[in-house]
């Protein structure tokens, strides 16, 4: 399957899942824990410019906004973004959401202090292109935060993508921390630091190996 067709199918899948996503996503149920972990991992003093790539229903973006940062986010699925916009309105938080694929989003180069990608790399036809976009979007010294997991170990976290679509996503099984460290280095980031130990227990029932990594643009 060509990358463009895979991407269309991924976006359509998430638009179909959007109405129920916040009801099942463990990270939404555990927003308080994630807020604590992100607040520490950002290592930020004062208000920062944050960009959330593949923002989905805006869970990470809204946490960043609740921490006082100026936040923008993009997603390829209009359905997920509709839920994100609704959540922002309900919570009274200001986030500028853009309907765009990560690679095509309009964020100016060097316009962010922090870029986040949570549970996005596994579902991209070209995950390295997303990390390069994050690198481009960050200012010198800026911080990328990447979180994902080895979703193949637990049936309840598998996507219901068709076999053809799954086969065209290089990280469909998920990622280990070592995988992500290697990818961050390849994208030009400095040594990564891990933060998942801050969770009192795995945020994903089923003990999926997961990681929260940050690294800086030199
Ligand atoms: C598992 S959800 C994660 C959403 C959010 N980051 C979170 O932590 O809740 C994956 C999201 O990535 C989005 N996505 C997939 N490929 C994308 C791309 N190339 N550009 C932008 N968004 C993309 C999907 O539409 C979906 O909303």
pLDDT digit string, tens, across residues 175-193: 999 999 999 999 999 999 9
Asked if residue 165 has its Cβ within 6 Å of ligand 1, the reply is: no
Tokens of 8: 């269309």
Tokens of 13: 């899948």
Asked if residue 123 has its Cβ within 6 Å of ligand 1, the reply is: yes
Tokens of 83: 């839920």
The residue-averaged pLDDT of 12-32 equals: 83
Residue 201 confidence class, pLDDT cut points 50, 70, 90: confident
Domains of the chain by residue range: 3-216
The residue-averaged pLDDT of 104-123 equals: 98
Count CA atoms within 13 Å of residue 105 on its CB side: 30
Cα of 70 vs centre of ligand 1, distance in Å, is 20
Asked if residue 60 has its Cβ within 6 Å of ligand 1, the reply is: yes
> pLDDT value at position 23?
72
Asked if residue 75 has its Cβ within 6 Å of ligand 1, the reply is: yes
pLDDT at residue 165 is higher than 80: yes
User: What predicted TM-score, i.e. pTM, was given to this entire model?
Assistant: 0.97
Mean pLDDT score of the chain = 94
Q: How many CB atoms lie within 10 A of CB 155?
A: 8
Residues near 27 by beta carbon (within 8 Å), at least 6 away in sequence = 34, 59, 118, 119, 203
> pLDDT value at position 128?
98
CATH architecture of 3-216: 3-Layer(aba) Sandwich (3.40)
Residue by residue, DSSP assigns 55-74 as -TTTHHHHHHHHTT-EEEEE
> pLDDT value at position 92?
97
pLDDT tens, position by position, 51-108: 999 999 999 999 999 999 999 999 999 999 999 999 999 999 999 999 999 999 999 9
């Amino acid at each position: 399957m060509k990358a463009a067709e895979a991407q269309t199918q991924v976006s359509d899948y998430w638009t179909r899942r959007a109405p129920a996503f916040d009801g099942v996503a463990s990270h939404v149920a555990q927003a308080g824990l994630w807020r604590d972990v992100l607040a520490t991992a950002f290592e930020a003093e004062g208000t920062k410019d944050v960009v959330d790539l593949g923002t989905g229903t805006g869970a990470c973006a809204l946490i960043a906004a609740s921490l006082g940062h100026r936040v923008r986010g993009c997603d390829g699925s209009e359905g997920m973004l509709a839920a994100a916009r609704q959540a922002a309105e309900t919570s009274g938080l200001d986030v500028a959401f853009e309907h765009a694929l990560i690679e095509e989003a309009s964020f100016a180069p060097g316009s962010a202090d922090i870029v986040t990608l949570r549970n996005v790399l596994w579902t991209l036809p070209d995950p390295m292109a997303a990390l390069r976009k994050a690198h481009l979007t960050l200012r010198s010294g800026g911080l990328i935060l990447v979180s994902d997991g080895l979703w193949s170990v637990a049936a309840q976290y598998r996507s219901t993508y068709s076999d053809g679509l799954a086969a065209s996503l290089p990280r469909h099984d998920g990622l280990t921390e070592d995988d992500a460290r290697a990818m961050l280095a390849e994208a030009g980031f400095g040594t990564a630091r891990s933060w998942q130990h801050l969770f009192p227990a795995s945020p994903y029932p089923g003990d999926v190996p997961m990681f929260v990594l940050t690294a800086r643009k030199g």
